[in-house]
Chains A and B, each alone.
Chain A
């Protein structure tokens, strides 16, 4: 069984540790935390890979808690033909997936850090950031 990639977004009222614990214990899931951006002061994001027969039940449990669950069947890619390395996207990317390398000032994209917020897709003046299915 191949793992399911999901993005979780949650408010400041939810703490992460117990919910991951419940997914493992109550729903018998194998959970791999790909990325977590958790800060008690602001909204959190987490990317998980989950494997197990009861994964849908586990995700429903999260939804009932008020967590926004999104399947990562899509990914964000950069069209290198279109990117001019201006850097405009680096000011809006919340996770640093798009970042400037210094001193070359070349713009790098690290897909593993991406939480699929799609801000760069809207903000890139050259339409170089694309959603791929």
Chain B
């Protein structure tokens, strides 16, 4: 007998402390033991998790007014510039902005020790942060200079708003050239000396709901250790299914824009991150609950590492020159085993995405739901799915 559940029914069970909640990995075991139909009937919610560097992250900060008033025109936090072209005392600090005095890649490969991601991590760790601002002065906002120290608790609002997080799937990076390269996928040795990948595989949120049946605008999530929401689809949201010779190899390029109050987040789940020779960013912990409304949703949520694939891409030549194509697909089971074979060569693999942390997130979210503290939200708008067939364009140059 097929199963149909509603959000309301599941939430009633959550409130009563009776909901059956399992992590995506536990669902896989359950389906293996009892079969899909039985598992879909029993389970109400599946929790997912991912903890990895996520570019396109940042925070809106509203500092509060100075006395006399000031319409800030340039702002720095611990020497990292924030964008303040939005209002008098509002600014957006982006994760990849570097410290003003950073030597960048002038001494290649640069270390990129401190950037916007580190500022956000320091704020959420309740460390004092130096705020410097300049202005041109107006009749209503006469002040021109400010140098002070703030903490997260001193300022009025701090809203994490990450325009593109939780990449559904990602490339496995190798290097076909003769020299070591330093990329956002880490250090990659020549002649396919190593391979790096960055997805939690069978625990990764968007790999478990590839058709965006349950994750949409308004979905309540675990974000940075606190509560957050899906705000919209992420930038570069190009969901599709990878099909090779008629075989479905899982999903490709969906993303999420997520937001939440930074003040209730936790430094364990927002960590400043530096990539040698590339730049700085922020590692973000995200966990998304998937309600098991029917068997089809359960079937995708139960996909395991053996059934999920990543494209292998050459970051030495093909990626930088924007040459399409890849060197084939490898399963997350192979990637996690530590060895893959590409073009007949055995290569050792390393992840950039932390599995132990992803498991901790899925387990934490599961605990919240089991205790009745966290209820599910039905999306107020669904996101574009593979069926919508969105594709990417490159920049037109004159």
Contact = CB atoms under 8 A, between A and B. Distances in A.
Contacts of A102: 336-338
B91 interface: no
A87 B351 contact: yes
Contact of A105 (B52, B109, B271, B356): B356
A91 B348 contact: yes
Interface residues of B, number: 32
A89 B354 CA distance: 12
A55 interface: no
A125 B356 contact: no
Contact of A84 (B189, B196, B283): B283
B267 to A, nearest CB: 10
A123 interface: yes
Interface in B97-119: 109, 111, 113
Nearest to B185: A88
Contacts of B196: 88, 91
Given A91-B196, A102-B338, A125 B352 contact: yes
A105 B197 CA distance: 14
Nearest to B186: A88
Interface string A46-90: 000000000000000000000000000000000000001111111
Contact of B357 (A84, A89, A92, A127): A84
A42 interface: no
A89 B351 CA distance: 9
A100 B350 CA distance: 9
A111 to B, nearest CB: 20
B187 A86 contact: no
A122 interface: yes
20 contacts: A84-B283, A86-B352, A86-B357, A87-B350, A87-B354, A87-B355, A88-B186, A88-B196, A90-B350, A102-B336, A102-B338, A104-B355, A105-B354, A105-B356, A122-B111, A123-B187, A125-B283, A126-B271, A126-B272, A126-B283
7 closest cross-chain pairs (CB), A and B: A91-B350, A105-B355, A87-B351, A86-B354, A85-B356, A125-B273, A91-B194
